[in-house]
Structure formats: C-alpha cells, structure tokens
C-alpha cells in the first residue's frame, strides 16, 4: 500500500498532461547518476584513507561501470514491464543506498563496503537509472525522439559538471584543512564519508522528484499534429515492433553494437589522456607551452563539448536521419582524427577545436542511439534493447584505454611525450572509426520475420493488461462467477 504511487493508475497521464514534464523527470535521474563521471575529485583522498593503491580505488569505479552494463542488459525487459516510475524508484533506492553503504565503508575503514556500496549496489542503480526514462521519452515524443533522448542523456554528461564542483565545496565544508583551489590538497576520510552521506540523501530526493513527475501516455495517445504515416515514408524507420529477445538475433543489432563500440572506443582514446595529451602536443624539450592549470581547464572544456554534443547532435538527427548522423560521427570523426595527428600541434586553438568536436561526436553517439533503435525495432521494448546495446559501452571502456595506453606506454610516459608519439594511437583510432563507419553503412531495415505479430507497441500496458486479466480471473474463480 505504501508503494501504491508506483501502480499503473498513478503512472498513466490524464488528458491535458504536458509532455514537457517528462524531460525534467528524466533529467532528474540522469543528472544524479552522471556523478559517476566525477569520481576523480576524491580518488586521492580514498587512496590515503585506505592506505592503498590508486588501482585498488579504481576498482570501485570499474565495478560500477561493469554493473551499469550488466544491470542495463539484464534488467531491461523488467524495466519495460514495470514502467518508468517503478524503475526510477528502484534506481533511486540502489543509487542512494549505494552511497550510504560506501559512506559507512569509508567511516569504518572497510574498503570492501565501498566496493559493495558504490560499486555493486550503486552500479545497479546506474544501469537501471540510465535506461529507465528512455522508452517513455520515445513514446511521448514520437515526432522528435532524438531531441527527447538527447535532453535526458545530456543529463548524464551534465551530472559530472554539477558533482565535481559541488563535491569540492562540500569537502571543504566538512574538512576545514581542505583547499578546493589547491590541486595538491587532499580531504580527510571523514569528509569523504560525510560527502557520500550527503550525496546519497540529496540524490535520492532529486531522483524521487523524477519518480513522482514521470507519467506514461495513455494507450493510443499521439501529440497534436503528429501523423504516424509520415514515419513510414522515412528510410529505415519502422512502424512495426521487435521484441528484445528477437532484436539480439538480428544483424542490425550487432551492426549498431559495433557502431556504438567504435564511436565510444575512439572518444575514450582522447578523454582518457586529455590532460597530459594537450601538454605533450605543445612540448618543446622539457617544458610544455600549456600549463597544468590550462590542461585541467581543457578537460573541463571537453566535458562541455561532451554534454552539448549529446543534445545538439541527437536533436539534429531528427532532421538528418539516424544513419546519416552516424555517417557524420564516424566519417567526419576519421577526418578530425587525421587532422589531429597531422596538424593538431600547429596551434592550441586548432587542437582544442578538433578534440572538442571529436568529443561532441562521442557524446552525440550515446544520445542518438536510443532513437536509432526506435527507428529499427519500434517502441515495444526499445528500452530493453537499449540496455542490451549498452554492453558495447562496457566493452569500449576496456578496449579504448587498452589501445591508447598500449601505444603510449611503448613511447614513454604520458606527460613526458611529444605530439609525434601520439600519431600511431590516433591513426589506430581512425581504423576503429572506419570499422564503425562500414558497420553503419551495412545497416538495413529489420526483416519482417522478426516483427511482433499484432499490435504490440507498449510492453508496460500489456503487462498491466495481463496482470488485470489474471486478477479478474482469480476473483471470478474465487466467487464462482463465470
């Protein structure tokens, strides 16, 4: 009874409900879970608190990212069945309690509790939270799915922009000896524990705002002036529906998996080494013309490009079409990588501009993919299919750093290299993008044999109808009525 707000009757929008309430509900979730990109703020403090290595602390975040991919893939169908409100609530519980357990771990000096809390439990919240609003947004914005998912997934990039400065300010509040403006200053363990406690409570409250705001459209609802027949006229856009179980049997799913994997791998190549990379590109002898503070600023600038690309390119894809948009991400991306390798060291402005556009394509690739999935597989279980596709992100998270670090380790230590040392790694990324480019070109409409029979378009509505039929049957049997 206490959780009756999660029931279907409270989740279906009444006539007159504005669909523009859905993007802020989705943003409330993504802005919170985007904190996962801002963990560097307290990494050193955790190393000192637990008196351990950076690698041991890095495992916390690796577990979280792995759990993101696993839970998004495994829980996707469940998310479709129970609807966005229950899924967001579950994500809020996992994400919030993950912080609380991690806080207890830091306060008691038990690193395994941090692995369990932030890594395992929080990671499950990340995965469920990431996919929870996607399907709903696509149903509310059938006319502009790229804009809608771009708005939400932009929040994941924006979450880090908020969490980084906020965490520094909170650490300074909890530890008077900590100076957030001094990069060598390290906060105490008790300040990190208090920070985790605060973030856990604040994120839970903000995510609950999303829980109470989100609604699904009533069956058959369409926005004013929207003509579904227009969708049919667009190449690669289907009005049929494919289940998540069938989607992974299609070549289109694996081609798109390859596209996402290649786009993310190439982007991570730059993000992973952004700070030392810009200094190395402008190094003459022992010194670089780019100071340490400017290199840190460059990382912040890339975050802005990452976030802006998510919204701008995904929205643009509604007009360009999804396939041409990925041709741009991957094709223009290849040219930009070649330019970065050849003329990137000619001027700081040229380097910053090239890297910025590359990272905007990286972010755009994340935000556009749900709409691409909707075009190919319909709306029926698009959130669950998206969850399975995100395993490409986890794989790229391993492959990207492996490739870039493999090449750079052979040349020396990042932060002591020159522009030429990056050439082999950057040209390898051009090859990675070329593979993605070809995979995208090979994508064709899904064969009819994979389409669902009948009018499947809403897994949540069908699950509710099945539940209602089941309970009616039970009641009828109990009273002996036929």
Partner 1 sequence: MTEPTTASGTQTARLVVSWLVVGIPLLYGLYMTIKSVLPLFGG
| Residue 24 near partner 1 by CB under 8 A | yes
5 in contact with partner 1 (CB under 8 A): no
From candidates 93, 208, 304, 353, binder to partner 1 by CB under 8 A: 304
Task: Return the closest-CA partner of residue 450 out of 229, 238, 228.
Answer: 238
347 part of the interface to partner 1, by CB under 8 A: no
Token output for 60 = 């916390």
Answer yes or no whether residue 240 interacts with partner 1 by CB under 8 A. Answer: no
Q: Give the orientation angle of helix 84-108 with respect to helix 122-131, to 10 degrees.
A: 160
Residue 213 found at the interface with partner 1 (CB under 8 A)? yes
Q: How far is CA 68 from CA 61, 271, 342, in A?
A: 10, 19, 37
Asked if 296 touches partner 1 (CB under 8 A), the answer is yes
Q: From the list 192, 330, 352, 376, which residue makes contact with partner 1 (rule: CB under 8 A)?
A: 352
Nearer to partner 1 by Cβ, of 79 and 278: the residue is 278
How far, in Å, are 242, 326, 446, 447 from residue 238 at the CA level? 10, 18, 8, 11
Q: Taking CB under 8 A as the rule, does residue 294 contact partner 1? A: yes
According to the binding rule CB under 8 A, does residue 13 interact with partner 1? no
Out of 6, 56, 93, 301, name the contact with partner 1 by CB under 8 A.
Answer: 301
| Binding segment toward partner 1, per CB under 8 A, in 188-196, 219-227, 301-309, 365-373 | 301-309
Our finding on whether 356 is near partner 1 (CB under 8 A) is no
Burial (Cβ within 10 Å: 0-12, 13-18, ≥19) of residue 286: exposed
| Structure token digits, residue 213 | 């705001």
Does residue 291 interact with partner 1 by CB under 8 A? yes
Burial class, 371, CB count within 10 angstroms (exposed 0-12 / middle 13-18 / buried 19+): buried
Phi, psi angles (nearest 5°) of residue 105: -60, -45
Is 353 a binder of partner 1 (CB under 8 A)?
no
Task: Based on the shown chain and the rule CB under 8 A, indicate whether residue 367 belongs to the binding site for partner 1.
Answer: no
For the chain, the residue count is 482
CB of 33 to partner 1, least distance (A): 13
Per DSSP, the residues of 376-402 read HH-STTHHHHHHHHTHHHHHHHHHHHH
Nearer to partner 1, 57 or 307 (CB): 307
One residue of 50, 78, 209, 226 binding partner 1 per CB under 8 A = 209
Among 8, 12, 31, 33, binds partner 1 (CB under 8 A): 31
Interaction residues for partner 1, span 64-83 (CB under 8 A): none
Q: Which is nearer to partner 1, 209 or 221 (CB)?
A: 209
What SS3 class is residue 69?
helix
Strand locations in 228-355 (E): 283-284, 287-288
Contact 117, 100 (CB under 8 A): yes
Instruction: Indicate which single residue of 251, 300, 406, 431 sits in contact with partner 1 (rule: CB under 8 A).
Output: 300
Q: How many CA atoms within 13 Å lie on the side-chain side of 95?
A: 32
Whichever of 16 and 454 has its CB closer to partner 1, that residue is 16
In whole angstroms, the minimum distance from the beta carbon of 290 to partner 1 comes to 8
Which residues, numbered 403-462, are part of the site for partner 1 (CB under 8 A)? none
Q: Which of the 8 DSSP states describes residue 117?
A: I
Start-end of H helices in 344-458: 348-377, 382-389, 391-411, 423-441
Taking CA 462 as the corner, what is the angle to CA 73 and CA 322, rounded to the nearest 5 degrees? Answer: 50
How far does the chain reach from its first CA to its final CA, in angstroms? 29
Chosen residue from 6, 47, 104, 206 binding partner 1 by CB under 8 A = 206
Q: Please, which residue, 21 or 347, has the CB nearer to partner 1? A: 21
Shortest spacing between CB 101 and partner 1, in angstroms:
24
Interaction of residue 391 with partner 1, rule CB under 8 A: no
For partner 1, the closer of residues 243 and 279 by Cβ is 279
Which of positions 148-167 make contact with partner 1 (CB under 8 A)?
A: 155, 158, 160-166
Phi, psi of 299 (to 5 degrees): -65, -40
Q: How many residues bind partner 1 (CB under 8 A)?
A: 34
Q: Is 18 in the site for partner 1 (CB under 8 A)?
A: yes
Asked if 403 and 268 count as a contact pair (C-beta separation under 8 A), the reply is: no
Q: Do 359 and 271 contact (CB within 8 A), yes or no?
A: yes
Of the residues 7, 10, 21, 234, which one makes contact with partner 1 according to CB under 8 A: 21
Stretch that binds partner 1, among 26-34, 142-150, 234-242, 245-253 (CB under 8 A): 26-34
Under 8 Å between Cβ of 3 and 128: no
- Neighbouring C-beta atoms of residue 479, cutoff 10 Å: 8
CB of 301 to partner 1, least distance (A): 5
Residues of the shown chain interacting with partner 1 in the complex, contacts defined by CB under 8 A: 16-18, 20-21, 24-25, 27-28, 31, 155, 158, 160-166, 206, 209, 213, 291, 293-294, 296-298, 300-301, 303-304, 348, 352
């Amino acid at each position: 009874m206490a959780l009756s707000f999660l029931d279907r009757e409270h989740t279906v929008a009444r006539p007159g409900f504005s669909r523009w309430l859905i993007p802020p509900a989705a943003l409330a979730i993504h802005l919170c879970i985007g904190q996962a990109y801002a963990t560097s703020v307290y990494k050193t403090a955790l190393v000192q608190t637990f008196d351990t290595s950076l690698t041991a602390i890095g495992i916390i975040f690796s577990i979280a990212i792995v759990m993101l991919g696993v839970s998004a893939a495994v829980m996707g169908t469940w998310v479709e069945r129970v609807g966005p409100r229950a899924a967001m609530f579950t994500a809020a519980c996992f994400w919030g309690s993950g912080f609380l357990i991690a806080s207890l771990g830091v306060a008691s000096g038990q690193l395994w509790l941090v692995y369990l809390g932030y890594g395992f439990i929080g990671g499950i919240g990340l995965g469920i939270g990431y996919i929870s609003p996607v399907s709903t947004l696509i149903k509310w914005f059938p006319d502009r799915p790229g804009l809608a998912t771009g708005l939400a997934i932009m929040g994941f990039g924006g979450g880090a922009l908020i969490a980084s400065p906020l965490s520094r300010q909170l650490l300074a509040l909890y530890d008077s000896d900590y100076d957030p403006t001094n990069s060598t200053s390290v906060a105490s363990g008790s300040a990190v524990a208090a920070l985790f406690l605060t973030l856990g409570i604040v994120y839970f409250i903000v995510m609950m705002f999303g829980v109470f705001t989100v609604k699904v459209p009533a069956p058959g609802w369409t926005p004013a002036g929207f003509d579904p027949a227009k969708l049919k006229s667009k190449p690669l856009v289907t009005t049929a529906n494919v289940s998540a179980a069938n989607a992974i049997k299609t070549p289109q799913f694996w081609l798109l998996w390859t596209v996402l994997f290649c786009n993310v791998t190439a982007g991570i190549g730059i993000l992973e080494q952004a700070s030392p990379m810009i200094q190395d590109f402008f190094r003459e002898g022992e010194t670089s013309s780019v100071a340490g503070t400017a290199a840190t600023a460059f990382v912040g600038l890339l975050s802005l490009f990452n976030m802006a690309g998510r919204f701008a390119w995904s929205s643009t894809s509604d007009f360009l079409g999804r396939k041409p948009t990925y041709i741009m991400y991957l094709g223009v991306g290849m040219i930009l990588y070649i330019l970065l390798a050849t003329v990137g060291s000619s001027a700081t402005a040229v380097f910053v501009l090239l890297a910025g556009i590359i990272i905007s394509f990286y972010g755009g690739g994340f935000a556009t993919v749900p709409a691409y999935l909707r075009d190919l597989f319909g709306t029926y279980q698009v959130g669950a299919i998206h969850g399975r596709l995100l395993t490409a992100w986890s794989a790229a998270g391993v492959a990207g750093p492996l490739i870039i670090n493999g090449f750079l380790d052979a040349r020396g230590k990042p932060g002591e290299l020159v522009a030429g040392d990056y050439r082999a790694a950057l040209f390898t990324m051009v090859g990675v993008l070329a593979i993605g480019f070809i995979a995208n070109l090979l994508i064709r409409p899904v064969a009819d044999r994979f389409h669902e029979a009948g009018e499947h378009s809403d897994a949540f509505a069908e699950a509710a109808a099945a539940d209602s039929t089941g309970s009616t049957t039970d009641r009828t049997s109990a009273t002996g009525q036929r």
